[in-house]
Every structure is written in C-alpha cells, then in structure tokens.
Amino acid sequence: MNYNNRYRLRPSDALAEQLAWTVDTCRQVYNHFLHRLNRTDNTSAYSEQKLLPSLKKWWNDLKQVHSKVLQKVVQRLYDNLSTLRGRKDNGYRVGTLNWKAPGEYRSFTYSQSGFKLKNTSGRTRLWLSKLGEIPITLHRDIPDDAEIKTVTVKQEPTGKWYAIFGVETPDDPPAKPENPEKCVGIDVGILKYAHDTDGTAVESLDLSDERERLERAQRNLSRKQHGSANWEKQRRVVAERHAELKNKRRDFLHKLSNYYAREYDLVAVEDLDAKGLVELPGNSRNRAGAAWGMFLRMLEYKCEREGTHFVAVDPAGTTKECASCGVSTDKPLWVREHSCPACGFEADRDANAAWNILSRGITKRLGAGRSESTPVETALPTDTDSVSAKRVVEAGSPTLKERTASAVSE
C-alpha cells in the first residue's frame, strides 16, 4: 500500500537559500521544456528526459541539481498535460499550460535515489544529494517494513519547508469481513457536520476567530505598497493566518475520518459533487468551508488503509425518502425534522438521511434490499448524542463514543 507522510524541515539560513535556489532552477527547467512542448511536435516525457545530459553541457547550474530531480520536473510537465487533456475529454473547457512565474513553483521531488534518513548526534536529519543534511521533525515513525520511494521538498507560502515522503508497505491491510457487522451511514451537512446512523451528530467546526484574524490581516495587507518590504512582511502574516485556518480544519477532518475508518467494517456516504455544490448560489462560503470533498477523500483512503469497506451512493432523494417505509416527502431546507405522512415515522432530518445512505450502501455493497433483516428496518434511532467539534479536535485518539459519554456526563 502507498501513502504519504508529511514532516517539517528546519534548514539553516544557508540551506534554506540553497533549497530556494533549487526550486527556482527547477522552475526554469519546467519553463524551458514547456517552451519546447509548444513548438515541437510528437514529444514525450521519456524523449525529453533524454535531452537533460546534453542540456547540462551549456546550462552549468543544472550540474548542481540531482539528475532524478530534473527528470521529475519533465515528468511533472507531461503529467500536467495529461490532466489537462483528460479534463478536455470529459467535456470541460480548458486552456493551455501556463508559464511558471517565481512563487508559482514551490517544490521538487527525489525519486528512488538521492535521499536518506540519518541519525546524527541523536537527531534525525534528511540527507539530500547536492544539498546536504537538513534537520527534520520526524513526529510520526515510519514502519520498519516500509520503503520510502519518493521525497518531495516543498516551501509553503508561510516560508516554512516540508518534506513529503511517499511510503510503500509490502502488504495491504487485512480486509474487514465480507459480510460486515459494524456498518454506519454518514450524512454531512453545515449545521451538523456529520450525522451517523449510530445516533451521533458532530457539530461543525467553529472557525470564526480564525476567519476574523485572516480578514484583519488582509485589510492590513491592502494598505501596504505592493512589493515593498512591509508588504512582504504582511503577506507572510496573511499566509500564516491562512495556514492556521487550513490546519485546524484538516486536523478536524483527519481525526473524524480516522475514527470512522477504524471503528466500522463498512462506511456508506453520499457521492457528492462538492465542487458543484460550492458553485450553487447562496451560502457558498459555508459549503466551501465545510470541505466535504476533502473529508470524503480522506475517509476513502483511510478506509482502504484500514481494510474497511467504503461505499459512495447516489445522494438523490436521501433527505426526502422515509427510512422506515420508503415513501418520499418533499420538505424545505428549513424543516429540520422528518415526519412521514404514510407510516408516521419521525426523526431528525439528517438522521433519516443517514439511514437511507446506509440502506443504499448495503444494497450496493452486499446486494441486500429492504427486508426485515436490514438495520434500517430494525434499529432506527430515536435519540441523538451531539458531539462538539472542539472535542474532536482536542481529544485526538479517543473514539467519538467516549467523547459522547463525557459530553453527556457533563
């Protein structure tokens, strides 16, 4: 199985300058081969990579960059081109690949060789060919049986440097039972971020303080003369505020998705078009801030890592349909309770949707339809435990059930 681990690098000023020089040189190489791509027919990543040795004969700076790094720059260009063509084939209107200006190209990658983790004087350091040893905060251990395949060095807009390790483990995780016993359906929203079929409702993350600090920093930036020293200093402050907001949201989503992937054998969610939902008029800021697409992507790869069955179902009608009898009832967005006129079943609107999602997930994964044996028929929830998003962020590893129990006891 392949996955990525991200670690903070702490280079000295001299090493940071070297890293920045390497990034800029890679940017120039990218632009050079983009120029060739626009003026030469029938090129490929492989054919262009073979030109690198001859390019070094007159471009002396390239001798100070590892050969694998230069090859990955060319590969990156053609990967971008492939993505562009794929979007065009799927009906999207696309333009052409753009020239990379300084500040728009922030990373470079070592593949297969040119890197090594070392322990120097009791401190872990990352050795990179042509650059040297860089102190690294290895906050998460890499399994002994895992192999580091790639190392990507990236500078964030805040100026901080990070290393992203592409790690490969020899064996896939053991799969959960083919007939899963612990199943859960999850309905995501704005008022309650996640409402599941176990009766747990996780509140949305409150980022109002972070947004207020960001807006204040952006107003201050608008008063500076563009390109001045004060403008650059304030730009870093704005980048830090963006990073605070982004990190808090990602921390919340990582912990929530990790819980569901580990605690259950089957997880059913809606197959949402998150980008399309954001583009709808009205309340788009809250929909964008909810980051549903990011949550579902995290949940999917973590389910794969844990061997949990992940099922994405058609979201159409999950709110309207009654989880007890299947009769559809229209209800406006402001109506937060489901009350079925056919069978009399009453439940929270999101809880009803979660059970419909689980029912569809079971049908899709196991081929089981509505019957007397399905959980939807026999175990509809009557009570909901509300869990604060703050508990998810601060508690870390304990399960939501433990958090719920502590919330109820308080």
pLDDT in the model for residue 161 = 96
Cα end-to-end distance, the chain, whole Å: 42
Q: Are 400 and 202 in contact (CB under 8 A)?
A: yes
CA dist 300 and 260 (Å) reads 10
Nearest CA to 77 out of 40, 108, 31, 42 is that of 31
Helices (H), 9-109: 13-39, 45-49, 52-58, 67-89
The residue count of the chain comes to: 410
pLDDT in the model for residue 278 = 59
Coil, helix or strand for 382? coil
Nearest CA to 322 out of 369, 366, 380 is that of 380
Give the pLDDT of the chain (410 residues) as one tens digit per residue: 788 899 999 999 999 999 999 999 999 999 999 999 999 888 899 999 999 999 999 999 999 999 999 999 999 999 999 999 998 888 888 888 999 998 899 999 999 899 999 987 778 999 999 999 999 999 888 887 888 999 999 999 999 999 999 998 877 777 777 778 888 998 888 778 888 888 888 888 888 899 999 999 999 999 999 989 999 999 999 999 999 999 999 999 999 999 999 989 899 988 876 666 655 555 556 666 677 888 889 999 898 888 888 988 888 878 778 877 877 777 767 777 777 777 777 777 788 888 888 888 888 877 654 433 334 333 455 455 666 666 675 545 444 555 444 443 44
pLDDT in the model for residue 339 = 75
CB neighbours (10 Å) of residue 91? 6
Nearest CA to 184 out of 200, 173, 167 is that of 200
Q: Are 5 and 163 in contact (CB under 8 A)?
A: no
238's CB contacts (< 8 A; 6+ apart) are: 214, 217, 218, 221
Q: Are 129 and 110 in contact (CB under 8 A)?
A: yes
- pTM value? 0.79
Between strands 266-270 and 309-313, the pairing is: parallel
Bridge partners of residue 312, in order along the sequence: 269
pLDDT in the model for residue 361 = 87
pLDDT in the model for residue 196 = 87
Between strands 107-111 and 147-155, the pairing is: antiparallel
Q: Are 163 and 153 in contact (CB under 8 A)?
A: yes
How is residue 14 written in tokens?
A: 């001299």
CA dist 376 and 385 (Å) reads 19
pLDDT in the model for residue 394 = 55
pLDDT in the model for residue 375 = 41
100's enclosing H/E stretch is none
Angle at which helix 67-89 crosses helix 13-39, to 10 degrees, equals 50
Bridge partners of residue 151, in order along the sequence: 110, 165
pLDDT in the model for residue 293 = 84
Nearest CA to 353 out of 190, 230, 188, 112 is that of 188
pLDDT in the model for residue 134 = 95
